[in-house]
Structure 1
Amino acid sequence: MDFDDTWHPATHPSGAVLPVLTALSEALPETPKASGLDLLLAFNVGIEVQGRLLHFSEEAKDIPKRFHPPSVVGTLGSAAAASKFLGLSLTKCREALAIAVSHAGAPIANAATQTKPLHIGNAAKHGMEATFLAMMGLQGNKKILDLGSGFGAFYANYSPKDLPSLDSHIWLLDQQDVAFKSFPAHLATHWVADGAAAVRKHLVTSEGTLLPADHIERIVLRVPDVQYVNRPFPDSEHEARHSFQYVACAMLLDGSVTVPSFQSQHINRPQVRELLEKVVLEHPPDNLPSFNTLYCEMSITLKDGTTFTERSDTFYGHWRKPLSQEDLQKKFRTNASKVLCRDTVESLLKVVESLEDLEDCSMLTTLLRGPYAQEEVSKLSGMVSFHRTTLPI
């Protein structure tokens, strides 16, 4: 759905890591138990590794042009998290990361298609697989993260640095540069939605109705030059999620952008198509494709010559303007209630709020599993059990 969290520099960090840890916690034997703190520690390691790798390249700090970041750094984050959770030695961790690099990479051209979600699914799967292969003795280049011909092959200006020591307290996680989306679409479209909502207020009549679309002469969006989010006439939900133009028109017409906004009956409305014909994109030279600095300025000119202009520098949900805990929980309840009963959803919220105090983190996955049978969710338990009983966390 393109509804997951977004890190700065640009990637979706949790989707490649959390499924791995929940799967492993199910597969582990009853003794020794992995705690909620064990899961959190491994999760943080997986996130930190992704952020560090992105910070080693100036190119990687911007919205990507070549590789979809979760397919690259997410694969390494998955391997790092799995290695930590399973208690691999330093040597085995290096092997796992080396193997993971050979699994990494997917072209950005498959964004806005049904294949894009596969990128992060593969990142989770391949990182875990790399960890298992390292446990079985497979070896790779232990210096692969230091080489331009290694991990540097994915990014220009790659300049790796030593990781900080454990007592340095210089961790990327302390910066909390994570955005949470309020609707499921590419993050850059959230600035557009914010700007469109502000402009829309000028188009509502004193009776509370929206000015008819045929009164609008021109819509100008001043956004960064990000071609894969420039889709003038999207034909599918995946294209609509990656369209500056569509999100602007949906917000203007409806006053909100929600999950149903990307269903075909909403995308193909005549009113939407009429507005899309009037949208023009401009790319100011100061509006760079970085989630930390980009903005959206939106201007609407009416048939009588009147022009309204509004600008969004920071949308609600950005790390500079984070969602409230109440709204974050509301988002979780809305999504989770589609597959889990209300009591289970509320139990999950309570477990997550005190996850560090949980003695057995498999309780989390038991709740997440919902109605599915135990025998259907883990076919890797034999292999993991063998290693987990000999490797401490």
Structure 2
Amino acid sequence: MLAQRPGWAETVTDSFGLAIYGLKEGHLSDTLLHRSKRMILDTLGVGLLGTTSSVFSKVVQYSKLYNAHNTSSVWGNTAHTLSPQYAAFANGVAIHSMDFDDTWHPATHPSGAVLPALLALVETFPKKSRPSGLDLLLAFNVGIEVQGRLMRFSKEASNIPKRFHPPAVVGTMGSAAATAKLLGLDSTRSREALAIAASYAGAPMANAATSTKPLHIGNAARQGMEASFLAVLGLEGNQQILDLDYGFGAYYSDYSPSVLPHLSNYKWVLEDQNVAVKRFPAHLGMHFMADAAAGVRAKVLAKYDYLPIDKINKVTLRVPNSRYINRQFPASEHEARHSFQFNACTAFLDGSVSVSSFSQSKIHRTDLLDLLQKTHIENPPENQANFDTMYCEIELEMLDKETFIERCNTFYGHWRRPLSREDLLKKFKSNASAILPMEAVEAIIETVDNLEKVNDCSELISLLQVKESQKQSMNMTSW
């Protein structure tokens, strides 16, 4: 048993309950507000774009089966409302449908499990007492914080995962913490929400690179919210769920938890560890690979003035050993998003990777398939599967044995090289304008920029909808 600290918690689990309840607006630093607003804006954009995906269409159809109390909005269309749990589920799936959402270290997708749950929950409040933008920011950061703290209890969690997909583990806990905060649960019921959420958590990595993977984020958002609702009703779980190796520790072989800092000198994880914002919709490792391949392309063009595909003898990729992202001939968009080979060859041929790179016509084009046939993987032992320390290197060997080599240690968009505001806005506008008219896109940017000053954060939700008349004028089809 951990030694008790005066005025604080005896157990790790109690300290989390006390933190969820006790963290206040005054704990939000300028750095935290800046980073979390960037995360919110990016997540809204990728979620809106994700409503165009086939997996999103399927889960909306499914969720309508549970539409007893349709109080919460499905992003992108005023014609669809669902119960809050299933609105969170559908919007969460949209966010991860293209693997375009933010990524943290240790590895997880932090925002997608939290933001859709909070926005769906906001709409359940009476109109006269809906949370403010500052309330939303606080709850969002509490949800992010719980994920960050839990991951730091395991060194294993720092590496690219092999067994459990992290958003389905810590994301579920983050959703529970965030919704407990927004609901105003006391420390005891916040603790119970985490205990309940732990029994919802977990999804295997085997479903990576399939259309099922986006459900991991949707389920985390939905089930964390359900855990908070059940805690309100008095459901109880193990009071030491975060202390035990057969509690939350079951997800990690090296789980070593500790009590959270006292609130009087609290330091948020997000203040020390920024997130990565992706420039194209694919697994984070692909961004190292794409930047390296674009660098090799520039060297080849400088020598030949064109791409001499027929003169390439061999392409060697030196990458970390991670089986689920080693796919030489991806057959689907989801496999392509998780293929070192595909993203390397695409970036070499086109100069970059984009949303359109994952269309069936692009995946199966002849020049790409020919180059993939020449591509081989090497796993240098020092290149460990860790987003903070890994690198990707590409070497082109020509028929005359001349070689071109480029390595990427930190891609643009990584937490060590964050996107500029200009490029973040460019990404958001490109994604959101696929669904919304530009005046709504600009209004969302302004609202998020000033979120801490917004009296009723449901104003933000209303901007995420496009009316049928607007939809028709934008030549969009119904889901």
Post-superposition Cα deviations, 1:342-362, rounded to whole Å, max 9, x if no partner, equal: 100000000000101111111
Separation in 2 of the partners of 1:183 and 1:198?
17
Separation in 1 of the partners of 2:262 and 2:466?
40
Displacement of 1:205 after TM fit?
A: 6.0
Aligned to 1:54: 151
Separation in 2 of the partners of 1:101 and 1:347?
37
Question: Of 308, 317, 323, which aligns to 2:404?
Answer: 308
Aligned to 1:135: 232
Question: Of 208, 214, 238, which aligns to 1:117?
Answer: 214
Letter of the structure 2 residue corresponding to residue 295 of structure 1 = Y
Q: Secondary structure in 1 aligned to 2:263?
A: coil
* 93-102 or 164-173, larger mean C-alpha shift: 164-173
2:105/2:273 contact within 8 Å kept:
no
Q: 1:367 aligned to 2:463?
A: yes
Separation in 2 of the partners of 1:164 and 1:237?
43
Displacement of 1:173 after TM fit?
A: 1.1
Q: Secondary structure in 2 aligned to 1:221?
A: strand
Separation in 1 of the partners of 2:403 and 2:385?
26
Q: Secondary structure in 1 aligned to 2:112?
A: helix
Q: 1:322 aligned to 2:418?
A: yes
Separation in 2 of the partners of 1:99 and 1:147?
15
1:205-216 counterparts in 2 under 5 A? 208-211=305-308, 213-216=309-312
Separation in 1 of the partners of 2:181 and 2:419?
30
Question: Of 167, 170, 174, which aligns to 1:73?
Answer: 170
Displacement of 1:156 after TM fit?
A: 1.1
Separation in 2 of the partners of 1:86 and 1:355?
19
Separation in 1 of the partners of 2:260 and 2:189?
18
Displacement of 1:338 after TM fit?
A: 1.1
Post-superposition Cα deviations, 1:69-121, rounded to whole Å, max 9, x if no partner, equal: 00000000000000001100111101111000000000000000000000000
What stretches of structure 1 of length at least 5 have no aligned partner?
Answer: 374-393
1:10/1:62 contact within 8 Å kept:
yes
Question: Of 198, 201, 215, which aligns to 1:101?
Answer: 198
Q: 1:149 aligned to 2:246?
A: yes
1:58/1:156 contact within 8 Å kept:
no
Displacement of 1:32 after TM fit?
A: 2.0
| Higher relative contact order (Cα pairs below 8 Å, separated by 6+ residues) | 1
Structure 1 stretches of 4+ with a deviation exceeding 4 A read 205-208
Question: Of 103, 107, 131, which aligns to 1:34?
Answer: 131
Separation in 1 of the partners of 2:415 and 2:150?
20
Q: 1:189 aligned to 2:274?
A: no
RMSD: 1.3
Displacement of 1:176 after TM fit?
A: 3.5
Q: Secondary structure in 2 aligned to 1:100?
A: helix
Q: CA 1:37–1:4 in 2, change beyond 3 Å: closer, same or farther?
A: same
Question: Of 236, 239, 262, which aligns to 2:358?
Answer: 262
Aligned to 2:433: 337
Displacement of 1:27 after TM fit?
A: 1.7
Letter of the structure 1 residue corresponding to residue 329 of structure 2 = F
TM-score in terms of structure 2 length: 0.76
Separation in 2 of the partners of 1:177 and 1:286?
25
Q: Secondary structure in 2 aligned to 1:220?
A: strand
Letter of the structure 2 residue corresponding to residue 279 of structure 1 = T
1:219/1:300 contact within 8 Å kept:
yes
Q: Secondary structure in 2 aligned to 1:179?
A: coil
Aligned to 1:88: 185
Q: CA 1:187–1:254 in 2, change beyond 3 Å: closer, same or farther?
A: same
Aligned to 1:8: 105
Displacement of 1:372 after TM fit?
A: 7.4
2:123/2:130 contact within 8 Å kept:
no
Q: Secondary structure in 2 aligned to 1:125?
A: helix
Letter of the structure 1 residue corresponding to residue 296 of structure 2 = V
Q: 1:176 aligned to 2:265?
A: no
Separation in 1 of the partners of 2:103 and 2:389?
15
Q: Secondary structure in 1 aligned to 2:128?
A: coil
1:97/1:130 contact within 8 Å kept:
yes
1:265-276 counterparts in 2 under 5 A? 265-276=361-372
Letter of the structure 2 residue corresponding to residue 17 of structure 1 = V
Q: 1:283 aligned to 2:379?
A: yes
Q: CA 1:81–1:129 in 2, change beyond 3 Å: closer, same or farther?
A: same
Identity among equivalent pairs (%): 60
Letter of the structure 1 residue corresponding to residue 232 of structure 2 = M
Q: 1:222 aligned to 2:338?
A: no
Separation in 2 of the partners of 1:119 and 1:310?
35
2:326/2:340 contact within 8 Å kept:
yes
Q: Secondary structure in 2 aligned to 1:144?
A: coil
Displacement of 1:369 after TM fit?
A: 2.6
Separation in 1 of the partners of 2:130 and 2:321?
50
Aligned to 2:11: none
What stretches of structure 2 of length at least 5 have no aligned partner?
Answer: 1-97, 470-479
Post-superposition Cα deviations, 1:249-285, rounded to whole Å, max 9, x if no partner, equal: 0011111100000011000001111001111111111
Separation in 2 of the partners of 1:168 and 1:72?
28
Displacement of 1:371 after TM fit?
A: 2.4
2:154/2:252 contact within 8 Å kept:
yes
Q: Secondary structure in 2 aligned to 1:332?
A: helix
2:133/2:456 contact within 8 Å kept:
yes
Letter of the structure 2 residue corresponding to residue 60 of structure 1 = A
